[in-house]
A = this chain, B = another copy of it.
Amino acid sequence: MPDPSVGTGQAGAHSAGASPHVHPRHPRLDPLADRYAARTHGMKSSEIRALFSVVSRPEVVSLAGGMPAVTALPLDAVGSMIGDLVSGMGAQTLQYGSGQGDPRLRERICDVMALEGITDASPSEVVVTVGSQQGLDLVTRVFCDPGDVILAEGPSYVGALGVFQAAQARVRHVPMDDDGLVPEALEQALVECRARGDRVKFLYTVPNYHNPGGVTLSEPRREQIMAIAERFDLLIVEDNPYGLLGFDREPMRALRARDDQRVIYLGSFSKTFSPGLRVGWVLAPLAVREKLVLATEAQVLCPPSLTQYAVARYLDTQPWREQIKIFTELYRERRDATLESLAALMPPGTTWTRPDGGFYVWLKLPAGLDAKLMQPRAVAAHVAYVPGIGFYADGSGREYMRLSYCFPEPHRIREGVRRLARVIEAELDLHSTFDGVDTGSFRAVPASPSGPPRVVEPEGSGPFIGPANSDRNEDRQP
């Protein structure tokens, strides 16, 4: 240790437990600061993770997390099913398995994909992954060198942006509207990238019940986008965790069903069964699959056997299609509660999307408001959301927020929207009061004494609430 006092200081910080400055603000305090790989430089805590400690408080209505309603599962049946798997098949379920994943599960995955029109998939083209997050990470590692460009909807799934950042890829957002990704905008982006000599590795898209957008790519646009991909020789990564969660409608036909060579498909059991098992998959042409298997072997050797057997047995023995209906019925009710409350309570100038499946509403605040800066006040008012800025790689999206209706019960959703509406109204009051005054981009707005629940000020802070305080939410909480 070049400087023992530094080491001692760090050891002290360890034993102190959850220090408020876990993320080292002064590089000299981290003796390894000059040794990290370049890819770590842009790593930061996601907007969602930052809220973990907040949403676990029972008095807060969380419209932030995307946690499925797993308690709607028949837990006793699933429990005894998994218990039997271990008691009766421990030699398999507790042992190492193949890197590509259990063959029987891969067969059942092909059955599931057939519901979205993918009828030609072979189990040999499927790689089982630790959630579809790992699938996206593997695809990105296989295709992207630093500096490569990935096209993605604006906004995009925050977890995907984290993967792309870790790969040191550059993200170019392509706008969406109520019918999903705008084909003309995709074409324009491709033309511009080609003119600049950018290496565009793929389009990353969530066509169904977009996270966070809540919108679905329309059937005509699917055809248009496939035609553009053909014309520009563009690879598409279709991320589809929500495709079977439509309300009162049949599943859309997947992009992968239209081209088995140009589309790499990511699937997940996190929303149709359980996220705690972390079972997802990639469907890819054989040459790509070969590389994905090598990459996953280097990363995790093989996915957990027990969780794979649990999913395969669940699909074999439990009424999983009926269970998806139970889930979607429940989510539809919560979606309705959300949309009804928003329509009844939101002040003029607020707009939002109207999802017909999935988990999310994407809300735009009235002009001039900033969801990130408003967040501490919302938390003080006991309602949580995810600020839109986290869903863009380029720092835009401050006027947006994501509302998740998947987890809270309808009466809680209504209460949460009511609180949120009051917070927005209070912001609008402030905004009109300070209109024309330079408030440093709302960086230091006094907490409203007239607003609903008084802002709880962090210990040691002054009367002003701003980013310096909201940063506290970003300290790691287990």
Contacts and interface: CB of A to CB of B under 8 A. Distances in A.
B99 A49 contact: yes
Contacts of A290: 22-24, 476
A141 interface: yes
A38 B145 contact: yes
Interface in A127-154: 130-131, 133-134, 137, 141-145, 148
Given A75-B90, A82-B82, A286-B22, A278 B302 contact: yes
A298 B478 contact: no
A270 B11 CA distance: 30
Contact of A275 (B71, B96, B298): B96
**How many copies of the shown chain assemble into the complex?**
2
A201 B233 CA distance: 39
A100 B53 CA distance: 14
A330 interface: no
A262 interface: yes
B1 A262 contact: yes
A190 to B, nearest CB: 15
A394 B104 CA distance: 38
Contacts of A352: none
A465 interface: no
Interface residues of A, number: 121
A38 to B, nearest CB: 5
A162 interface: yes
Contacts of A326: none
Interface in A87-126: 87-88, 90-100, 103, 106, 120, 122-125
Contacts of A426: none
A274 B304 CA distance: 10
Nearest to A97: B276
B87 A287 contact: no
Contact of A78 (B14, B30, B90, B278): B90
A166 B293 CA distance: 12
A140 to B, nearest CB: 8
A297 B300 CA distance: 14
Nearest to A18: B124
Contact of A87 (B43, B79, B293, B478): B79
Given A98-B478, A130-B304, A159-B301, A17 B122 contact: yes
Given A14-B286, A32-B288, A134-B300, 15 more contacts: A14-B124, A39-B141, A43-B294, A49-B297, A52-B98, A79-B84, A82-B82, A137-B298, A137-B299, A141-B166, A165-B298, A274-B306, A277-B305, A278-B304, A306-B310
